[in-house]
Structure formats: structure tokens, C-alpha cells
Amino acid sequence: MAADGQDPHEESIKVCCRFRPQNQLEKEQSGRICVTINGDGTSVYVPSIDNSFVYDRVFGVDATQKEVYDYAAKPIINGVLRGFNGTVFAYGQTSSGKTHTMEGPDIEDEIQMGVIPRMVWSIFDGIDHAADYIEFLVKVSIVEIYNERIRDLLDPKKDNLKIHEDKARGVFIGEVTETYVGSEQEIFDMMKAGKYNRAVAETNLNEHSSRSHLIFMLTIEQKNLHDRSVKVGKLHLVDLAGSEKVAKTGASGERLDEAKNINRSLSALGNVINALTDRKSNHVPYRDSKLSRVLQESLGGNAKTSLIITCSPSYFNEQETVSTLRFGQRAKMIKNVVKVNHERSVEELKLLLQRRDQAVSELRGRVHLLEQLLQSNGIAVPEDKSSAVFLPAGAVPTPVDEVQSAELEEQLQELRGKLKTSAEQLCEANREKEELQSQLRVAEDEKHRLTMQAMDAQNDRESIEYERNEQVSELEKLRNEKTWLSQELEELTKSHQNLIQSTAATTPTNKGPMVCSRCRASSTEDKDPERPLKRKVSQLDKNLEQLTVMYHKLVAQNSGLKVEVAESDKKIERKDQRIQQLERNLREAKQKYEKLLTQCANLTAMIDVRGRKNCTCGATGSSSQAPFSACTAGSLESVRRCSFASACVCKARAQRWQASTQHSELSWTVWRGLLSL
């Protein structure tokens, strides 16, 4: 390791936990506290589950913004200024204090500013104090991930940016706006512009709650003007969307979709953390969401990472707090491998070359001196050292007569022929192996596609179920209304009959059977003395008719809803069938994979048998043994005699052995992935 710790080395993620003071709602809900912070400030005890969670540091409700920054984020910025990548991200339920911690209530208030503005100040402070021969370039990008789309907050027209990966840059967001900045104020202005463009929605828990993940990216490039070398440190500052349960937010429609996407990306992040901390897991599902992909380097990659989990101390939010504490505990087990992003410039390489040339000419001079010394002592100096045969110490070269030489030449020709055939066979075997590997890759892609389809189907199913529940509750409401209207109708009918009876009783001329009020109204319209009463009756009749029509409409609506519910049930049934179909496909893919594995094993065995046949050094050993150990177990002398040909065969065996080992490792990786499904 280099003296300044710049060589690649392992570092655990630093995890800090911060509790905010109780808010008004929590105080009204009893104001009870569900956690206790232990005296040393590194663990939290939750009495209801009798469990303690240990972190690098736990901040209580009175912790200041500066305390949190100094412990959780300052060491990261120091690393970035030395050319390391760095990440600080906040995770927690909605309204738990993520934005308060990352940005602060006022980014320009010295006391209240959060991690991001403090980092910006530290960067420019570091630049001001750096040596004169270091030149700095600072670039800023701000994006949000909203509903699985990456939006450029410095250019909102770019609303679906793609993620790319290459060897030089690692994982990066293509075509994102990168603006060069020269002062803190320029960055603060950009933050304000970015915030303005950020998607904001309202939920019951926090009316200004942000429903997207915010990622603030800073790239600091430093050029050493002496040796022209370049170091690039990338800083990711992430304010995640809230992690609360969908049901508790009371979200519906578009808000429900947002909440589902947030939960999906956060659970994908959780899956990445689980895979990184699970020794049995060989596959880390970074590609399952945009968020986990963007944070790939920060989790298990090349970055110094600090996670701040933010929690409510209130009993009202106990469940969410426990789930956040668990997330943090798991993340604490992740280990990243960090190294300085150092690029050698042409000038630096030239300088190195010059030094190397100087060392070579010094050595040449020394050799020349030694040769002169040998000659002066009467010892012959070999003329062409490159043609000298390598022999073990003390061995004397034996003269070879012409017949032997011809025989050897013949054997050599024969061996060369064999070697050529073996090389061709090896090529063919390699080609087959590559074909099998590409089939394996196809099977893997298919598996990934099926998994995604299954996840989508599951999501659809959830949303259909949600709609169905909504319809059922609507139906219930209509039923209640219907009962209420029926009662009203009954009462009206009764009062109508009472009125008719009382009319009949008070009209002495009306001796005939009771007839419909409307008929009577029309026949005695002009001279009836009880006209107002009749008018009232006819009015009641009209009301009754309207109510009857309304009643029928409600009955029709009710049956329409029943049909919709039945259709929803059918949809769910179809989705279930689709899921079963997908599971069957997956099983078939597994069987195919098993077959491929058997073919691979046969192929590897075949290659090994061929290799053993062709080896002339008399080496033995099974395919599971390293070829070199087989050679040394045989006669070392015979290996030497094999000369060029046998050495090549042994080398070829070594390569085949290595390839087959790698291949079985790859096979096991895929096989475990399939089993984990």
C-alpha cells in the first residue's frame, strides 16, 4: 500500500442515525417516545422489540447540523479532495428529516445549513488552501429520479436520461448537464434552480413531501502542473424519497403510482444491500432500478460512503423507525474497495520513461565494468547471453552426435504436428465453449426478463386489487344510500297514503272508491274547494316518481359495478394464470440450463483427456489437478527434454485447466442465481 493510503483498499460504509424532534401530529398522538439512545452515542435500544441497533454514531434530537456534518460528511469531502469518490446519502421515512439533514432549512444560513452547502464550502476552502501548482476544475450536475425516469434538474427538457458504464468512467449518467462553477454562490444558485424544478406532491404525512430521489453530483478534477498528472474525485449527495408504507400516506391514483415506484426503487436498494452483505449471494441486482444503478459505485464499489438514516423517535411512527434502523444495520456490513482516480498524463509517462532509460544506461555501464573485471582476471565472458541454454546450477551440457540430432529433429517435427492438431482441437473446443457461454448468457437474460415480467405482473395485480377494493367500498356506499333512499321512499309512501286518507275523511261528497290523486285533480280542477291539499298530494306524487326513477338508476349503477367487480376478478385470474405461465417458463429455463451445464462438464472432460494424451512430459493427474503440479510430480528431466513442444502442451493444459475452473465458477454463479429465484 502506498504511504498515503491511495492504493485500493477496503472500507466499510459509515452509518449514522439521526433522530429529529417530535412534530405536532406526534405530540398530539400521545407524544410517547419509542427509542432510547445509549450513553456512548453509538447504539439505539427499542424496548418494544427488545433490540439494540449499533451504528458508527447516533445523533439525538438536539444534535446540531455542524455536529452531524463534522462526523458523517467531512471525512468524505477530504477524501474527494484527494481524488477518491465519495457519497453521502440520507434514508428514512417521509418527514423524518432527510432534507433537513442534507440541505437544511436555509442553505445560506451558517447555523442551519445542511450537509450539501457545508460540503460546497469545504470544497472551495480545500481549493483555496491547496498548493499553487495544483489546478482545479469543479463541475456540478443535479438530477432527480422520479417514477423510474432520470430528470435533469438543470435542464428539465432532458427528462429521461440513460445510465451508461465504461471502464474509464465507471457508471455514469449520459448527456447530463455538467456546469463548471467557480464559487460557492454559483452552486447555491444552481441548487435553488434545481429545487424549483423538482417534482413535489402532497401526501397526508407531509404536505411538502418530495416524491423523488434527488442526486447532487460534484466532480472535482485536479491537475498537478509539475508532473501533469490528473486526479478526479466524484461526489454524490443523495436525498432519497420517503420510505413510508403506501397505506399510511392515504395516496391514490397518480400519487399511488409514485408511491409504488418509490417503494420499488427503495426495495431494489434494499435488495442490493442484502446481496452485498449475504455471503451466499453471487449476483448483486444493481440493474433492478435506476436508483441502485446510479448508486452502484457507492454501494460495494469504488467510493467512500456515508449513510445517514433519519428517524422519528415517536411511538406513532415506531414501525417505520424500526424498519429504517434495520436498513441502516444491514448497510453497515457493506465493504467498498476505494482507490484514488489517478490518470497519468503524457508528460508524467515521459518523465517515468526518462528515469527508466537513465537506470538502464547506469546498469549497462556497471555490466561493462564487470566484464572488464572478468577479462582482467582471465575469465571468458559469454558473447551472446540471450542464446545461452538455461541449465540448473552445476549441470554440464552433454554433446549430442549427429544421429541423435536428426532423431530429435524428427521427434520435434512430429510433436509440432501433434501440437498443431491439438491447437486446432483446442480452438474448436474454445469455440464450442464460447457458444455454450453465449447460450448461458441468453438464458440469464431470459431469466432476468422473466423476473422483471413477474415483478410487473405482481405490481399490476396489486393495483387491480387496489382498484377492486376501491370499487367494493364504492358499492358498499351505494348500498347504504340505497337503503337510506328506500326508507325515505317508504316514509313518503306512508305520508302520502295518510294524506289521501285524511283528504277522503274531510271531503263529504267523495263517496266513491279511492282513486289516483292526479285523476281527481284533473276532474275537479276548477271547483274543488280543497285544491291546495290536492296540489300538495300531486307534488308528493311527483316526488315519489322522481325517487322511484332515482332508485332504479341506483339499482342499475349497482349492477354495473357488480359487472366491473366481476371483470376485475377475471383480470386478477388472468394475471394469476400469467404468473403461473411465467413460473413454468422459468422452470423450463432452469432445465435448459442444467442441460447446458452437463454439456459443459462433458466438454471440459473431453479437453482434459485430449490434453493428457498430447502431453509428452509423462505428466499425469486428473482434470481437477493443476497441470503444473502434475508436471512436477512427474519427471522434471522429462519436462526439460520435452523442450519447446512439451512446454507448449503443458502450457496449453494449464490454460485449459484455468478456463475450465473459470467456467465452472461462472456456471455455479448462474446456477445459484437460478436457485435463489
Ligand X SMILES: Nc1ncnc2c1ncn2[C@@H]1O[C@H](COP(=O)(O)OP(=O)(O)OP(=O)(O)O)[C@@H](O)[C@H]1O
Binding region for ATP? 92-99
Nearer to ligand X, 211 or 653 (CB): 211
- The CA distance from 309 to 102, in Å, is 11
Stretch that binds ligand X, among 175-183, 205-213, 264-272, 400-408 (CB under 6 A): 205-213
Minimum gap (Å) between residue 31 Cβ and ligand X = 16
CA dihedral 334, 335, 339, 341 (to 10 degrees): -10
- Compute the least distance from the CB of residue 325 to ligand X, in Å: 15
**Nearest C-alpha neighbor of 325 from the set 91, 143, 561, 490:** 91
**Residues contacting 649, CB < 8 A, separation 6+:** 419, 422, 611, 614, 615, 616, 617, 642
What own/partner pairs with CB < 8 Å and gap ≥ 24 does 342-350 have? Answer: 342/6, 342/83, 342/229, 342/230, 342/231, 343/229, 343/230, 343/231, 343/232, 344/229, 345/223, 345/227, 345/228, 345/229, 345/230, 346/228, 347/227, 347/228, 348/227, 348/228, 348/229
228 touches 341 (CB < 8 A):
no
Q: How near is the Cβ of 241 to ligand X at its closest, in Å?
A: 6
Phi first, then psi, for residue 488 (nearest 5°) are -60, -45
Which of these ranges, 48-56, 93-101, 134-142, 264-272, lies near ligand X under the rule CB under 6 A? 93-101
Q: CA–CA separation, 301 vs 272, rounded Å? A: 12
Which of the residues 224 through 283 are near ligand X (CB under 6 A)? 241-242
Q: Least distance from C-beta 256 to ligand X, angstroms?
A: 16
In sequence order, the 6+-apart residues with CB closer than 8 A to the CB of 136 are 127, 130, 220, 221, 222, 223
Q: Tell me which residue has cell 366481476.
A: 566
- How distant, in Å, are the alpha carbons of 31, 264, 282, 597 from that of 437? 60, 32, 18, 10
Could you tell me the smallest distance in angstroms from the CB atom of residue 563 to ligand X? 40
329 binds ligand X (CB under 6 A): no
Pick the closest to residue 485 from 422, 412, 419, 546 (CA basis): 546
Q: Which stretch binds ligand X (CB under 6 A): 88-96, 367-375, 386-394, 619-627?
A: 88-96
Nearer to ligand X, 22 or 298 (CB): 22
> Pattern of binders to ligand X over 284-323, x per CB under 6 A?
--------------------------x-------------
Q: Are 619 and 634 in contact (CB under 8 A)?
A: yes
Choose which of 22, 85, 87, 96 interacts with ligand X (CB under 6 A). 96
The rounded distance, in Å, linking the Cα atoms of 608 and 344 is: 43
Please say which residue, 21 or 75, places its beta carbon nearer to ligand X: 21
Total number of residues that touch ligand X (CB under 6 A): 17
Strands (E), 264-391: 304-311, 335-338, 342-343
Only one of the segments 204-212, 268-276, 371-379, 476-484 lies at the binding site for ligand X (rule: CB under 6 A); that segment is 204-212
Using CB under 6 A as the binding rule, whether residue 117 contacts ligand X is answered as no
Looking at 14, 98, 231, 610, which residue binds ligand X (CB under 6 A)? 98
Spatial distance between the Cα atoms of 416 and 670, rounded to a whole number of angstroms: 39
Taking contact as CB under 6 A, which single stretch among the options 202-210, 267-275, 448-456, 574-582 is the one that binds ligand X? Answer: 202-210
Listed ranges 90-98, 271-279, 423-431, 625-633: which one lies at the site for ligand X (CB under 6 A): 90-98
Q: Which stretch binds ligand X (CB under 6 A): 97-105, 157-165, 383-391, 540-548?
A: 97-105
The answer to whether 105 contacts ligand X (rule: CB under 6 A) is: yes
Residue 8 makes contact with ligand X by CB under 6 A: no
DSSP state of 167: T
Residue 21 binds to ligand X (criterion: CB under 6 A): yes
Nearest residue to the partner ligand X, using Cβ: 97
When asked if residue 332 is in the footprint of ligand X (CB under 6 A), the reply is no
Q: How far is CA 660 from the centre of its chain?
A: 32
Give the nearest distance from C-beta 26 to ligand X in angstroms.
10
> Stretches 203-211, 383-391, 407-415, 574-582: which one binds ligand X (CB under 6 A)?
203-211
For 57, list phi and psi in degrees, rounded to 5: -160, 140
- Residues 154-193, one symbol each (x = binds ligand X by CB under 6 A, - = not), give ----------------------------------------
Binding ligand X by CB under 6 A: which of 206, 222, 296, 341? 206
Q: Which is nearer to ligand X, 206 or 422 (CB)?
A: 206
User: Could you tell me the CA-to-CA distances from 203 to 26, 206, 266, 409 in Å, in that order?
Assistant: 16, 6, 18, 87
* Identified binder of ligand X from the candidate list 87, 95, 265, 667, rule CB under 6 A: 95
User: Residues 22, 85, 87, 94: which binds ligand X (CB under 6 A)?
Assistant: 94
Site stretch for ligand X (CB under 6 A), options 206-214, 281-289, 391-399, 416-424: 206-214
Q: Residue 257 Cβ, how far from ligand X at the closest point, in Å?
A: 17
Tell me the three cell numbers of residue 645: 513442444
Binding residue (CB under 6 A) for ligand X from 85, 87, 210, 667:
210
Contact present, 439 and 533 (Cβ < 8 Å)? no
Q: Does 97 bind ligand X (CB under 6 A)?
A: yes
Annotated binding site: 92-99
Among 14, 57, 82, 100, binds ligand X (CB under 6 A): 100
**Shortest distance in whole angstroms from residue 312 CB to ligand X:** 9
SS3 587: helix
How many other C-beta atoms lie within 10 A of the C-beta of residue 518? 13
Query: Taking Cα atoms as reference points, which of 161, 254, 247 lies closest to residue 211?
Result: 254
Instruction: Mark residues 494-523: x for contact with ligand X by CB under 6 A, - for none.
Output: ------------------------------
With CB under 6 A as the contact rule, the residue among 92, 117, 300, 328 that binds ligand X is 92
Q: Which helix (H) or strand (E) holds 10?
A: strand 9-12
Residues whose CB falls within 8 Å of the CB of residue 515, separated by 6 or more in sequence, listed in order: none
Cβ closest to ligand X, residue 79 vs residue 242? 242
Q: How many helices (H) and strands (E) does the chain have?
A: 16, 17
Give the shortest CB-93-to-ligand X separation in angstroms.
7
Does 99 contact ligand X by CB under 6 A?
Answer: yes
Which residues here bind ligand X, judged by CB under 6 A?
A: 20-21, 92, 94-100, 105, 206, 209-210, 241-242, 310
